[in-house]
Amino acid sequence: MENKVVIITGATSGIGKALAFEFGKKGSLLAITGRRGEELQAVANELINNGVSVLTLQGDVSNEADAKRITDETIKRFGKIDVLINNAGISMRALFENVQLEVFKKVIDINFFGTVYCTKYAMPYILESKGSIVGISSINGKRATPARTAYSASKYAMEGFLEALRMEVMKRGVHVLSVCPGFTTSNIRNVALTADGHPQGESPRDESKMMSAEETAEHIYYAILKRKRDLVLTTQGKLAVWLTKLFPLLMDKITYYFMAREEDSPFK
């Protein structure tokens, strides 16, 4: 991946930030995006201090114009795109009967349409470089969870999009990877939206027992390098996917009770 141009969306924290450092230390040229300008610049400064060539692009991937600008500015700076990592995402936690539809739409717009927009505008350059298109999905893209209807729907949509796209470009040398991390240490649960759109604040789960963002990023790096089709992470995540295929009704019940044990669960 040395001297490969890599776009990473949602790089201000969590998996996106860890990916920036993983690819940066391997000699990649980075274009990193995020909605929070100060945090994005702080990540960029740290990368630059470590000798990484990086372009910062503040913007919202759910805005089509911003998604186009990400590609345009990357080409202007580096002249090519080798890897697009669609990592930007947001979660939610509320029963569907209570969630405001604006919140539901916001999650879909960022997680799904953000991927669609960024991929659409980067696609001609990825075809030219015979590079990689990556979607950071979730175990929720294969095993939905209650109180996360919008998040689950967005990740199922991403999975379908990537699968169809993979077949379209499979004879043209382009690699499409779907990544389904399990529970990973990040701030995604802290900023997850509640029914009225406010961040929930404290994570309802024990973050110390999760796979680190850095370990997740390392797995993703090598999956891209080896041009794998799918990557499912954590033992728990793999077990959830496998059991869902074999015993879907049983997994409905297991998943319900597992999520109901969360702190401040909406089921209580």
Name the nearest CA neighbour of 19 among 34, 35, 8. 8
Residue 151 is among the residues annotated as catalytic for this protein: yes
**Cα 193 to the center of its chain, rounded Å:** 16
Name the nearest CA neighbour of 51 among 21, 73, 10, 78. 21
Structure tokens at 30: 């980075």
Q: Is the dihedral of CA 91, 224, 126, 8 positive or negative?
A: positive
Among 117, 121, 125, 151, the active-site one is 151
In angstroms, the CA 134 to CA 224 distance is: 8
DSSP 8-state secondary structure symbol assigned to residue 109: I
Structure tokens at 21: 């450092």
φ/ψ of 31, rounded to 5, equals -120, 115
Task: Kindly state the helix (H) or strand (E) to which residue 57 belongs, with its residue range.
Answer: strand 54-58
Q: Which amino acid is at 202?
A: E
Which residues fall within 8 angstroms of residue 67, CB to CB, at 6 or more apart?
Answer: 59, 61, 114, 117, 118, 120, 121
Catalytically annotated residues: 151
